Chain A
Amino acid sequence: MEGLAGRTALVTGAGQGIGRAIARRLAAEGALVLCNDLDPARADAAAAEVGGVSVPFDCADPDAVRRAVAEHQPIDLLVANHAFMTMAPFLEVDPGEWRRMLETNLLGTAWLVSACGPAMAERGYGRIVCIASEWGVTGWPNATAYTATKGGIISLVRSAAHALGPRGVAVNAIAPGVTDTPQLDVDALDAGVSHDEMAAIYARDIPLGRIGRPDDIAAVAVFLCSTAAAALVGQVLMPNGGYVT
Protein backbone atom coordinates (compact mmCIF):
# COMPACT_ATOMS: atom_id res chain seq x y z
CA MET A 1 0.00 0.00 0.00
CA GLU A 2 1.36 3.40 -0.90
CA GLY A 3 0.36 4.99 2.40
CA LEU A 4 -2.25 7.60 3.19
CA ALA A 5 -0.09 10.30 4.78
CA GLY A 6 -1.63 13.73 4.29
CA ARG A 7 -5.13 12.33 3.77
CA THR A 8 -8.04 13.01 6.09
CA ALA A 9 -10.60 10.25 6.55
CA LEU A 10 -14.05 10.41 8.10
CA VAL A 11 -15.13 7.05 9.51
CA THR A 12 -18.67 6.82 10.84
CA GLY A 13 -19.55 4.31 13.50
CA ALA A 14 -15.85 4.23 14.41
CA GLY A 15 -16.54 3.50 18.06
CA GLN A 16 -16.54 -0.26 17.78
CA GLY A 17 -16.47 -3.30 15.52
CA ILE A 18 -15.66 -2.85 11.84
CA GLY A 19 -15.53 0.95 12.08
CA ARG A 20 -12.98 0.85 14.88
CA ALA A 21 -10.78 -1.55 12.91
CA ILE A 22 -11.03 0.66 9.80
CA ALA A 23 -10.09 3.76 11.82
CA ARG A 24 -7.10 1.89 13.24
CA ARG A 25 -5.91 0.70 9.79
CA LEU A 26 -6.36 4.09 8.13
CA ALA A 27 -4.41 5.75 10.94
CA ALA A 28 -1.68 3.11 10.64
CA GLU A 29 -1.40 4.03 6.94
CA GLY A 30 -0.84 7.64 7.94
CA ALA A 31 -4.28 9.21 7.50
CA LEU A 32 -5.74 11.66 9.99
CA VAL A 33 -8.94 9.94 11.08
CA LEU A 34 -12.10 11.76 12.10
CA CYS A 35 -13.77 9.23 14.37
CA ASN A 36 -17.54 9.52 14.37
CA ASP A 37 -19.92 7.69 16.64
CA LEU A 38 -23.41 8.40 17.88
CA ASP A 39 -22.06 7.94 21.41
CA PRO A 40 -19.55 10.74 22.21
CA ALA A 41 -17.65 8.58 24.70
CA ARG A 42 -17.08 5.91 22.06
CA ALA A 43 -15.99 8.49 19.49
CA ASP A 44 -13.56 9.94 22.05
CA ALA A 45 -12.13 6.53 22.85
CA ALA A 46 -11.61 5.68 19.17
CA ALA A 47 -9.99 9.06 18.48
CA ALA A 48 -7.71 8.67 21.49
CA GLU A 49 -6.65 5.21 20.36
CA VAL A 50 -5.81 6.15 16.77
CA GLY A 51 -4.54 9.67 17.39
CA GLY A 52 -7.47 11.12 15.50
CA VAL A 53 -10.24 13.62 16.12
CA SER A 54 -13.48 12.78 17.89
CA VAL A 55 -16.48 13.86 15.81
CA PRO A 56 -19.65 12.55 17.43
CA PHE A 57 -22.93 13.17 15.62
CA ASP A 58 -26.06 11.35 14.53
CA CYS A 59 -25.67 10.28 10.87
CA ALA A 60 -29.47 10.18 10.57
CA ASP A 61 -29.60 13.95 11.12
CA PRO A 62 -28.81 15.67 7.80
CA ASP A 63 -28.05 19.01 9.45
CA ALA A 64 -25.63 17.43 11.89
CA VAL A 65 -23.91 15.62 9.02
CA ARG A 66 -23.62 18.79 6.93
CA ARG A 67 -22.28 20.79 9.89
CA ALA A 68 -19.66 18.21 10.88
CA VAL A 69 -18.47 17.71 7.32
CA ALA A 70 -18.24 21.46 6.70
CA GLU A 71 -16.27 21.97 9.93
CA HIS A 72 -13.66 19.36 9.08
CA GLN A 73 -12.85 20.01 5.43
CA PRO A 74 -10.91 18.95 3.53
CA ILE A 75 -12.06 15.33 3.85
CA ASP A 76 -10.39 13.07 1.27
CA LEU A 77 -11.74 9.69 2.34
CA LEU A 78 -15.19 8.79 3.62
CA VAL A 79 -15.98 5.41 5.10
CA ALA A 80 -19.71 5.33 5.82
CA ASN A 81 -19.81 2.43 8.22
CA HIS A 82 -22.35 3.29 10.92
CA ALA A 83 -25.45 1.10 11.13
CA PHE A 84 -28.41 0.29 13.30
CA MET A 85 -29.96 -3.18 13.31
CA THR A 86 -32.73 -4.95 15.09
CA MET A 87 -34.16 -8.30 14.07
CA ALA A 88 -37.74 -9.51 13.92
CA PRO A 89 -39.92 -11.58 11.60
CA PHE A 90 -40.95 -9.48 8.59
CA LEU A 91 -44.60 -9.16 9.58
CA GLU A 92 -43.70 -8.09 13.11
CA VAL A 93 -41.22 -5.30 12.36
CA ASP A 94 -42.27 -2.21 14.25
CA PRO A 95 -42.77 0.81 11.92
CA GLY A 96 -40.60 2.90 14.20
CA GLU A 97 -37.73 0.42 13.82
CA TRP A 98 -38.22 0.37 10.05
CA ARG A 99 -37.89 4.15 10.00
CA ARG A 100 -34.91 4.23 12.32
CA MET A 101 -33.02 1.66 10.22
CA LEU A 102 -33.86 3.47 6.98
CA GLU A 103 -32.96 6.87 8.38
CA THR A 104 -29.74 5.71 9.99
CA ASN A 105 -28.40 3.23 7.46
CA LEU A 106 -29.65 4.33 4.04
CA LEU A 107 -30.45 8.00 4.51
CA GLY A 108 -27.48 8.51 6.84
CA THR A 109 -25.21 7.17 4.11
CA ALA A 110 -26.95 9.39 1.55
CA TRP A 111 -26.43 12.49 3.72
CA LEU A 112 -22.75 11.63 4.16
CA VAL A 113 -22.11 11.00 0.47
CA SER A 114 -24.00 14.18 -0.45
CA ALA A 115 -22.06 16.22 2.09
CA CYS A 116 -18.59 14.85 1.29
CA GLY A 117 -18.84 14.08 -2.44
CA PRO A 118 -19.10 17.56 -3.96
CA ALA A 119 -16.10 18.97 -2.07
CA MET A 120 -14.02 15.94 -3.07
CA ALA A 121 -15.11 16.39 -6.69
CA GLU A 122 -14.15 20.04 -6.61
CA ARG A 123 -10.66 19.08 -5.48
CA GLY A 124 -10.61 16.28 -8.09
CA TYR A 125 -9.83 13.52 -5.62
CA GLY A 126 -11.76 11.40 -3.20
CA ARG A 127 -12.56 7.89 -2.09
CA ILE A 128 -15.94 6.89 -0.68
CA VAL A 129 -16.43 3.44 0.80
CA CYS A 130 -19.89 2.50 2.02
CA ILE A 131 -20.26 -0.52 4.25
CA ALA A 132 -23.26 -2.52 3.06
CA SER A 133 -23.82 -6.18 3.94
CA GLU A 134 -23.85 -9.57 2.29
CA TRP A 135 -27.44 -9.68 3.48
CA GLY A 136 -28.11 -6.62 1.35
CA VAL A 137 -27.34 -8.87 -1.63
CA THR A 138 -28.95 -12.12 -0.50
CA GLY A 139 -31.66 -11.01 1.91
CA TRP A 140 -31.99 -12.67 5.31
CA PRO A 141 -34.89 -13.93 7.40
CA ASN A 142 -35.72 -11.80 10.43
CA ALA A 143 -33.65 -8.93 9.02
CA THR A 144 -35.96 -7.53 6.34
CA ALA A 145 -35.64 -3.88 7.26
CA TYR A 146 -31.89 -4.06 7.78
CA THR A 147 -31.29 -5.93 4.52
CA ALA A 148 -33.51 -3.49 2.63
CA THR A 149 -31.42 -0.56 3.88
CA LYS A 150 -28.19 -2.36 2.94
CA GLY A 151 -29.52 -3.21 -0.53
CA GLY A 152 -30.40 0.45 -0.83
CA ILE A 153 -26.85 1.41 0.04
CA ILE A 154 -25.56 -0.81 -2.77
CA SER A 155 -27.82 0.92 -5.29
CA LEU A 156 -26.87 4.31 -3.88
CA VAL A 157 -23.20 3.44 -4.36
CA ARG A 158 -23.69 2.35 -7.97
CA SER A 159 -25.54 5.53 -8.85
CA ALA A 160 -23.22 7.85 -6.93
CA ALA A 161 -20.26 6.18 -8.65
CA HIS A 162 -21.67 7.34 -12.00
CA ALA A 163 -22.13 10.87 -10.69
CA LEU A 164 -18.78 11.30 -8.94
CA GLY A 165 -16.48 8.96 -10.88
CA PRO A 166 -15.75 11.34 -13.74
CA ARG A 167 -14.57 13.91 -11.19
CA GLY A 168 -11.94 11.77 -9.49
CA VAL A 169 -14.10 10.39 -6.69
CA ALA A 170 -14.33 6.60 -6.60
CA VAL A 171 -17.43 5.31 -4.81
CA ASN A 172 -17.55 1.63 -3.87
CA ALA A 173 -19.24 -0.66 -1.38
CA ILE A 174 -18.05 -3.44 0.85
CA ALA A 175 -20.68 -6.07 1.60
CA PRO A 176 -19.14 -8.08 4.44
CA GLY A 177 -20.35 -11.49 5.37
CA VAL A 178 -21.10 -12.21 9.01
CA THR A 179 -18.35 -10.51 10.99
CA ASP A 180 -17.30 -10.81 14.61
CA THR A 181 -18.57 -7.50 15.98
CA PRO A 182 -20.97 -6.39 18.74
CA GLN A 183 -23.70 -6.45 16.07
CA LEU A 184 -23.47 -10.23 16.12
CA ASP A 185 -24.99 -10.00 19.59
CA VAL A 186 -28.26 -8.73 18.05
CA ASP A 187 -28.34 -11.86 15.98
CA ALA A 188 -27.41 -14.13 18.89
CA LEU A 189 -30.16 -12.58 20.99
CA ASP A 190 -32.69 -13.20 18.20
CA ALA A 191 -31.57 -16.84 17.97
CA GLY A 192 -31.38 -17.28 21.73
CA VAL A 193 -27.73 -18.38 21.77
CA SER A 194 -24.44 -16.87 22.94
CA HIS A 195 -22.16 -14.69 20.80
CA ASP A 196 -19.64 -17.53 20.40
CA GLU A 197 -22.33 -20.09 19.60
CA MET A 198 -23.73 -17.74 16.96
CA ALA A 199 -20.26 -17.31 15.42
CA ALA A 200 -19.76 -21.09 15.33
CA ILE A 201 -23.17 -21.68 13.72
CA TYR A 202 -22.35 -19.26 10.90
CA ALA A 203 -18.79 -20.56 10.50
CA ARG A 204 -20.08 -24.06 9.71
CA ASP A 205 -21.46 -22.85 6.37
CA ILE A 206 -18.51 -20.66 5.38
CA PRO A 207 -15.88 -22.34 3.14
CA LEU A 208 -13.06 -20.53 4.95
CA GLY A 209 -14.32 -22.06 8.19
CA ARG A 210 -14.61 -18.84 10.15
CA ILE A 211 -16.68 -15.68 10.24
CA GLY A 212 -15.04 -12.41 9.27
CA ARG A 213 -12.79 -10.38 11.51
CA PRO A 214 -13.11 -6.59 11.62
CA ASP A 215 -9.50 -6.46 10.37
CA ASP A 216 -10.50 -8.37 7.21
CA ILE A 217 -12.98 -5.66 6.33
CA ALA A 218 -10.54 -2.92 7.32
CA ALA A 219 -7.94 -4.28 4.89
CA VAL A 220 -10.48 -4.13 2.05
CA ALA A 221 -11.51 -0.60 3.03
CA VAL A 222 -7.92 0.62 3.09
CA PHE A 223 -7.31 -0.93 -0.34
CA LEU A 224 -10.36 0.88 -1.74
CA CYS A 225 -9.05 4.13 -0.21
CA SER A 226 -5.72 3.80 -2.02
CA THR A 227 -4.81 5.77 -5.13
CA ALA A 228 -4.16 2.53 -7.03
CA ALA A 229 -7.77 1.41 -6.57
CA ALA A 230 -9.01 4.22 -8.84
CA ALA A 231 -10.31 1.84 -11.53
CA LEU A 232 -12.74 0.29 -9.06
CA VAL A 233 -15.91 2.29 -9.58
CA GLY A 234 -19.34 1.37 -8.26
CA GLN A 235 -18.15 -2.10 -7.28
CA VAL A 236 -19.32 -4.24 -4.39
CA LEU A 237 -16.53 -6.22 -2.72
CA MET A 238 -17.65 -9.13 -0.60
CA PRO A 239 -15.26 -10.32 2.07
CA ASN A 240 -17.28 -13.27 3.31
CA GLY A 241 -15.03 -16.33 3.42
CA GLY A 242 -16.64 -17.67 0.24
CA TYR A 243 -20.19 -17.91 1.61
CA VAL A 244 -21.54 -15.96 -1.38
CA THR A 245 -19.41 -16.05 -4.51
Chain B
Amino acid sequence: MQADVTDAAAVEDAVARAERDLGPVSGCLTAAGVYRRGALGSIAVEDWRSMLAVHLDGTANVCRAVYRRLLLRRNGAIVTIGSELALVGDGDAPHYAAAKGAIHAFTRSLAREAAPHGIRVNCVAPGPTDTPLLKPEYAPPDYVASLVLQRLVRPEEIAAAVRFLLREDTNMVGQVVSPNAGAVI
Protein backbone atom coordinates (compact mmCIF):
# COMPACT_ATOMS: atom_id res chain seq x y z
CA MET B 1 0.00 0.00 0.00
CA GLN B 2 2.47 2.60 -1.22
CA ALA B 3 1.58 6.25 -0.66
CA ASP B 4 3.25 9.54 0.21
CA VAL B 5 1.55 10.67 3.44
CA THR B 6 1.96 14.32 2.44
CA ASP B 7 -0.30 13.71 -0.56
CA ALA B 8 -3.87 13.72 0.79
CA ALA B 9 -5.39 12.33 -2.42
CA ALA B 10 -2.86 9.48 -2.56
CA VAL B 11 -3.57 8.62 1.09
CA GLU B 12 -7.33 8.62 0.52
CA ASP B 13 -6.84 6.38 -2.50
CA ALA B 14 -4.59 3.97 -0.57
CA VAL B 15 -7.06 3.68 2.34
CA ALA B 16 -9.93 3.12 -0.11
CA ARG B 17 -7.94 0.38 -1.85
CA ALA B 18 -7.05 -1.21 1.50
CA GLU B 19 -10.71 -1.34 2.52
CA ARG B 20 -11.72 -2.75 -0.85
CA ASP B 21 -9.07 -5.50 -0.67
CA LEU B 22 -9.02 -6.27 3.05
CA GLY B 23 -12.31 -5.08 4.51
CA PRO B 24 -13.24 -2.28 6.91
CA VAL B 25 -10.36 -0.62 8.75
CA SER B 26 -10.76 -0.63 12.54
CA GLY B 27 -7.38 0.62 13.74
CA CYS B 28 -4.76 3.01 12.45
CA LEU B 29 -1.19 3.92 13.37
CA THR B 30 0.49 6.99 11.90
CA ALA B 31 4.21 6.36 12.22
CA ALA B 32 5.71 7.92 9.09
CA GLY B 33 8.48 10.28 10.08
CA VAL B 34 11.92 11.71 9.38
CA TYR B 35 14.57 13.11 11.71
CA ARG B 36 17.07 15.72 10.67
CA ARG B 37 19.17 18.03 12.77
CA GLY B 38 19.98 21.65 12.29
CA ALA B 39 20.26 24.93 14.17
CA LEU B 40 17.35 27.25 13.50
CA GLY B 41 19.42 29.60 11.37
CA SER B 42 20.69 26.78 9.17
CA ILE B 43 17.40 25.10 8.37
CA ALA B 44 16.33 25.97 4.83
CA VAL B 45 12.73 27.02 4.39
CA GLU B 46 11.99 23.94 2.30
CA ASP B 47 13.45 21.67 5.02
CA TRP B 48 11.28 23.39 7.60
CA ARG B 49 8.20 22.91 5.44
CA SER B 50 8.93 19.28 4.60
CA MET B 51 9.51 18.44 8.27
CA LEU B 52 6.06 19.82 9.11
CA ALA B 53 4.51 18.29 5.99
CA VAL B 54 5.64 14.74 6.71
CA HIS B 55 4.65 14.83 10.37
CA LEU B 56 1.69 17.18 10.75
CA ASP B 57 0.14 17.02 7.26
CA GLY B 58 1.00 13.33 6.99
CA THR B 59 -0.63 12.48 10.31
CA ALA B 60 -3.69 14.60 9.54
CA ASN B 61 -4.04 13.16 6.02
CA VAL B 62 -4.01 9.57 7.23
CA CYS B 63 -6.29 10.32 10.19
CA ARG B 64 -8.76 12.15 7.93
CA ALA B 65 -9.02 9.22 5.52
CA VAL B 66 -9.39 6.64 8.29
CA TYR B 67 -11.47 8.64 10.78
CA ARG B 68 -14.13 9.32 8.13
CA ARG B 69 -14.56 5.56 7.78
CA LEU B 70 -14.44 4.79 11.51
CA LEU B 71 -17.21 7.36 12.01
CA LEU B 72 -19.54 5.37 9.78
CA ARG B 73 -19.22 2.45 12.18
CA ARG B 74 -18.82 4.53 15.36
CA ASN B 75 -16.01 2.26 16.47
CA GLY B 76 -12.26 1.99 16.19
CA ALA B 77 -9.01 3.46 17.42
CA ILE B 78 -6.19 5.61 16.12
CA VAL B 79 -2.68 5.95 17.52
CA THR B 80 -0.31 8.65 16.35
CA ILE B 81 3.43 8.70 16.94
CA GLY B 82 4.71 11.80 18.68
CA SER B 83 8.03 12.13 20.45
CA GLU B 84 9.59 12.52 23.85
CA LEU B 85 11.45 15.46 22.24
CA ALA B 86 8.14 17.30 21.86
CA LEU B 87 7.74 17.15 25.64
CA VAL B 88 11.09 18.76 26.42
CA GLY B 89 12.30 20.30 23.17
CA ASP B 90 15.29 19.36 21.05
CA GLY B 91 18.17 21.84 20.92
CA ASP B 92 19.44 20.12 17.77
CA ALA B 93 16.19 19.90 15.83
CA PRO B 94 13.64 22.64 16.48
CA HIS B 95 11.66 21.75 13.36
CA TYR B 96 11.36 18.10 14.38
CA ALA B 97 10.33 18.88 17.96
CA ALA B 98 7.80 21.46 16.74
CA ALA B 99 6.34 19.04 14.21
CA LYS B 100 6.00 16.34 16.85
CA GLY B 101 4.49 18.81 19.30
CA ALA B 102 1.93 19.63 16.64
CA ILE B 103 1.08 15.93 16.46
CA HIS B 104 0.50 15.87 20.24
CA ALA B 105 -1.90 18.81 20.05
CA PHE B 106 -3.59 17.40 16.94
CA THR B 107 -4.07 14.05 18.67
CA ARG B 108 -5.60 15.62 21.77
CA SER B 109 -7.94 17.66 19.59
CA LEU B 110 -9.05 14.80 17.35
CA ALA B 111 -9.50 12.67 20.47
CA ARG B 112 -12.00 15.20 21.85
CA GLU B 113 -13.84 15.29 18.53
CA ALA B 114 -13.85 11.51 18.09
CA ALA B 115 -14.57 10.26 21.63
CA PRO B 116 -18.30 11.09 21.63
CA HIS B 117 -18.55 8.83 18.57
CA GLY B 118 -16.90 5.91 20.37
CA ILE B 119 -13.54 6.30 18.63
CA ARG B 120 -10.40 6.39 20.78
CA VAL B 121 -7.45 8.52 19.64
CA ASN B 122 -4.15 8.54 21.53
CA CYS B 123 -0.48 9.28 20.94
CA VAL B 124 2.63 7.28 21.72
CA ALA B 125 5.66 9.51 22.25
CA PRO B 126 8.74 7.30 22.04
CA GLY B 127 12.00 8.13 23.71
CA PRO B 128 15.32 7.34 22.00
CA THR B 129 14.54 4.10 20.20
CA ASP B 130 16.94 1.70 18.55
CA THR B 131 15.85 2.24 14.93
CA PRO B 132 17.64 3.33 11.73
CA LEU B 133 16.31 6.87 12.33
CA LEU B 134 18.51 7.15 15.42
CA LYS B 135 22.01 7.37 13.97
CA PRO B 136 24.77 6.22 16.34
CA GLU B 137 26.13 9.76 16.62
CA TYR B 138 22.72 10.89 17.96
CA ALA B 139 22.94 8.47 20.90
CA PRO B 140 26.57 8.35 22.09
CA PRO B 141 27.42 6.07 25.05
CA ASP B 142 27.37 8.91 27.61
CA TYR B 143 23.85 9.85 26.51
CA VAL B 144 22.62 6.27 26.72
CA ALA B 145 24.21 5.96 30.17
CA SER B 146 22.27 9.05 31.27
CA LEU B 147 18.92 7.33 30.66
CA VAL B 148 17.27 5.79 33.72
CA LEU B 149 17.27 2.37 32.04
CA GLN B 150 20.81 2.97 30.70
CA ARG B 151 19.73 1.57 27.35
CA LEU B 152 17.73 2.65 24.30
CA VAL B 153 14.03 1.87 23.95
CA ARG B 154 13.41 -1.27 21.89
CA PRO B 155 11.08 -0.95 18.88
CA GLU B 156 8.93 -3.79 20.23
CA GLU B 157 8.33 -1.73 23.40
CA ILE B 158 6.81 1.02 21.26
CA ALA B 159 4.80 -1.64 19.46
CA ALA B 160 3.48 -2.95 22.78
CA ALA B 161 2.22 0.50 23.79
CA VAL B 162 0.61 1.02 20.37
CA ARG B 163 -0.99 -2.41 20.49
CA PHE B 164 -2.38 -1.74 23.97
CA LEU B 165 -3.92 1.57 22.92
CA LEU B 166 -5.35 0.17 19.69
CA ARG B 167 -6.71 -3.10 20.99
CA GLU B 168 -7.79 -2.56 24.59
CA ASP B 169 -11.17 -0.86 24.75
CA THR B 170 -10.47 1.40 27.73
CA ASN B 171 -11.17 5.04 28.52
CA MET B 172 -7.67 6.10 27.49
CA VAL B 173 -8.56 9.07 25.26
CA GLY B 174 -6.37 11.94 24.08
CA GLN B 175 -3.41 10.72 26.10
CA VAL B 176 0.27 10.95 25.23
CA VAL B 177 1.98 7.79 26.47
CA SER B 178 5.75 7.98 26.48
CA PRO B 179 7.84 4.80 26.65
CA ASN B 180 11.15 6.63 26.85
CA ALA B 181 13.48 4.60 29.08
CA GLY B 182 13.37 7.39 31.61
CA ALA B 183 14.60 10.12 29.26
CA VAL B 184 11.66 12.29 30.35
CA ILE B 185 9.97 11.70 33.69
Contact = CB atoms under 8 A, between A and B. Distances in A.
Interface of A: 158, 161-162, 165-166, 177, 207-210, 212-213, 215-217, 219-220, 223, 226, 228-235, 237-242, 245
Given A165-B148, A233-B148, A245 B179 contact: no
A123 B133 CA distance: 34
Contacts, number: 107
Nearest to B127: A231
Contact of A223 (B149, B164, B176, B180): B164
Interface residues of B, number: 34
Main secondary structure of the interface of A (DSSP, over half): loop
Contacts of B174: 207, 242, 245
Given A165-B149, A233-B148, A208 B115 contact: yes
Given A207-B174, A229-B161, A231-B153, A242 B182 contact: no
A231 B154 contact: yes
Contacts of A216: 170-172
A245 B181 CA distance: 22
A220 B168 CA distance: 9
The 8 closest A-B pairs by CB, nearest first: A245-B174, A228-B160, A242-B173, A234-B185, A231-B179, A207-B115, A165-B148, A233-B182
7 contacts: A162-B148, A177-B171, A226-B160, A230-B149, A235-B179, A237-B175, A241-B171
A121 B172 CA distance: 30
B177 A237 contact: yes
B115 A209 contact: yes
Contacts of A223: 160, 164, 168
Contacts of B115: 207-209, 241-242
Interface of B: 108, 111-112, 115-116, 120, 127, 148-150, 153-154, 156-161, 164, 168, 170-182, 185
B170 A229 contact: no
Given A209-B115, A241-B173, 4 more contacts: A210-B171, A230-B149, A231-B158, A245-B173
Most buried by A among B164, B171, B174, B176: B171
Contacts of B161: 229, 232
Given A165-B148, A231-B153, A232-B179, A208 B171 contact: yes
Nearest to A229: B160
Contacts of A161: 148, 182, 185
Given A209-B115, A220-B172, A231-B181, A166 B148 contact: yes
